[in-house]
């Protein structure tokens, strides 16, 4: 670990690989479905992220690394000439003094043919639990096509190919989405992954896809530009993980061979388990102290608690939606504005660019 002391505060500087962060506040990745047709980033997206550039680090919404990896309608990609559309986004964030990673998200089985025009793929032919978003509204999650053994490495490499495009577009690095029931998480799962080959079954096999995806990204853009997000024990989209503490201890032990930028953990397991993983991970740790989309939102108390438990950086999700000046509000103790859930995914600039900085009154 670097930059960690017993009196660490949220507003202290932190050296993250080659990036000097002015504070330890991370904007968590959040799907906002505002991309243009074809998965292109837009001027509004550039404005949205630039408004929040006072964060120590911004992690974008999930960006699909391939058409078959697209989970939701209206999400951006990094697998075609989309790359050029991201340059104004990264330029705007950097012009405002910020730092930004792209989150690379392959949805795996959490998709629908109506969204991408392709049958979703997964480690096994097991449908996700629940309804997925489609252009025509929610639909039951379909049974994915199980990837053939020869196809699995190609899907792992798709993360590294997107990572190369991201860095070429000006991103400071990438975070692989290994959490929340999407493709990497599906391979880690004991009920979404029923494979009997070298990618399924025992823990050593179930972690293989995640390790190969990370290794490919490291080979392509370097370890200092590569990170991963994980949700130990999470049950998103119906995934289950037997022996979750052992599973993630084994995964982190393998990932420790790389000097990654960071590991990003969600509070999806008991605190004792998460603290154990913190101790097991030798590098920088970003902690999201609440379950994504759960009843609680990250606040200063939760952030300070996890800094005290050894986290290096704290990610804030929904608080950043309605508070583009979140860092200043945390610094001065100003109240946080509430976000309107009706605008999370509706598209357009309302509820996206329309939240103001704190308005002082005489």
What pLDDT does residue 359 have?
Answer: 86
Q: Residue 115: what are its φ and ψ, rounded to 5°?
A: -85, -50
What pLDDT does residue 1 have?
Answer: 45
CA distance 61 to 44: 14
What is the Rg, in whole angstroms, of the alpha carbon atoms belonging to the chain?
Answer: 19
Q: What is the chain's pLDDT, residue by residue, as a tens digit (362 residues)?
A: 444 445 889 999 999 988 999 999 999 999 999 999 999 999 999 999 999 999 999 999 999 999 999 999 999 999 999 999 999 999 999 999 999 999 999 999 999 999 999 999 999 999 999 999 999 999 999 999 999 999 999 999 999 999 999 999 999 999 999 999 999 999 999 999 999 999 999 999 999 999 999 999 999 999 999 999 999 999 999 999 999 999 999 999 999 999 999 999 999 999 999 999 999 999 999 999 988 777 788 889 999 999 999 999 999 999 999 999 999 999 999 999 999 999 999 999 999 999 999 988 65
Give strand pairing partners of 316.
Answer: 27
| Farthest-apart Cα atoms in the chain, separation | 68
Compute how many other C-beta atoms are within 10 angstroms of the C-beta atom of residue 53.
19
Domain ranges of the chain: 14-343
Based on the number of CB atoms within 10 Å of its own CB, is 13 exposed (0-12), middle (13-18) or buried (19 or more)?
exposed
What pLDDT does residue 6 have?
Answer: 54
What pLDDT does residue 362 have?
Answer: 59
Say yes or no: domain 14-343 is CATH 3.20.20.70: yes
As given in the structure block, the two tokens for residue 298 are: 């990250």
What pLDDT does residue 295 have?
Answer: 76
Give strand pairing partners of 264.
Answer: 229, 286
Based on the number of CB atoms within 10 Å of its own CB, is 100 exposed (0-12), middle (13-18) or buried (19 or more)?
buried
Phi-psi region of 336 (alpha: psi -120 to 50; beta: other; left: phi over 0): beta
Q: What is the 3-state secondary structure (H, E, C) of the chain?
A: CCCCCCCCCCCCCEEECCEEECCCEEECCCCCCCCECCCECCHHHHHHHHHCCCCCEEEEEEEECCCCCCCCCCCCECCCCHHHHHHHHHHHHHHCCCCEEEEECCCCCCCCHHHHCCCCEECCCCCCCCEECCCCCCEECCCCEECCHHHHHHHHHHHHHHHHHHHHCCCCEEEEECCCCCHHHHHHCCCCCCCCCCCCCCHHHHCHHHHHHHHHHHHHHCHHHEEEEECCCCCHHHCCCCCHHHHHHHHHHHHCCCCCCEEEEECCCCHHHHHHHHHHCCCCEEEECCCCCCCCCCCHHHHHHHHHCCCCEEEECHHHHHCCCHHHHHHHCCCCCCCCHHHCCCCCCCCCCCCCCCCCCC
Based on the number of CB atoms within 10 Å of its own CB, is 228 exposed (0-12), middle (13-18) or buried (19 or more)?
buried
CA distance 189 to 176: 17
- Predicted TM-score (pTM) of the model is 0.96
Among 149, 140, 144, 59, residue whose Cα is nearest residue 105: 59
As given in the structure block, the two tokens for residue 326 are: 């979140």
- Active site members: 182
Contact (Cβ atoms closer than 8 angstroms) between residue 39 and residue 26: no
């Amino acid at each position: 670990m670097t930059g960690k002391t017993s009196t660490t505060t949220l507003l202290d500087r932190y050296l993250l690989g080659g990036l000097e962060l002015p504070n330890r506040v991370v904007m968590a990745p959040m799907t906002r479905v505002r991309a243009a047709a074809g998965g292109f980033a837009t001027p509004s997206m550039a404005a949205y992220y630039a408004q929040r550039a006072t964060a120590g680090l911004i992690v974008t919404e999930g960006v699909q690394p391939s058409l078959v990896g697209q989970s939701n309608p209206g999400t951006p990609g990094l697998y075609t000439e989309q790359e050029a559309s991201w340059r104004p986004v990264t330029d705007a964030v950097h012009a405002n003094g910020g730092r930004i990673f792209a989150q690379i998200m392959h949805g795996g089985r959490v998709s629908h043919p109506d969204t991408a025009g392709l049958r979703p793929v997964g480690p096994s032919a097991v449908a996700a639990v629940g309804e997925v978003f489609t252009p025509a509204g929610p639909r039951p999650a379909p049974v994915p096509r199980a990837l053939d053994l020869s196809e699995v490495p190609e899907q792992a490499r798709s993360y590294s190919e997107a990572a190369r495009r991201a860095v070429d577009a000006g991103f400071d690095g990438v975070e692989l989405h290994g959490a929340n029931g999407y493709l990497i998480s599906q391979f880690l799962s004991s009920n979404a992954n029923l494979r009997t080959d070298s990618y399924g079954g025992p823990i050593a096999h179930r972690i293989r896809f995640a390790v190969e995806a990370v290794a490919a990204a490291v080979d392509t853009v370097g370890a200092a530009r590569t990170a991963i997000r994980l949700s130990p024990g999470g049950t998103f989209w119906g995934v289950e993980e037997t022996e979750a503490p052992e599973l993630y201890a084994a995964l982190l032990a393998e990932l420790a061979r790389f000097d990654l930028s960071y590991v990003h953990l969600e509070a999806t397991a008991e605190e004792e388990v998460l603290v154990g993983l913190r101790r097991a991970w030798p590098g920088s740790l970003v902690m999201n102290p609440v379950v994504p989309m759960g009843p609680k939102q990250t606040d200063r108390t939760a952030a300070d608690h996890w800094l005290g438990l050894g986290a290096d950086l704290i990610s804030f999700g929904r608080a950043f939606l309605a508070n583009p000046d979140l860092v200043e509000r945390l610094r001065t103790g100003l109240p946080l504005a509430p976000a309107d859930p009706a605008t999370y995914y509706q598209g357009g600039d309302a509820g996206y660019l329309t939240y103001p900085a704190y308005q002082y009154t005489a």
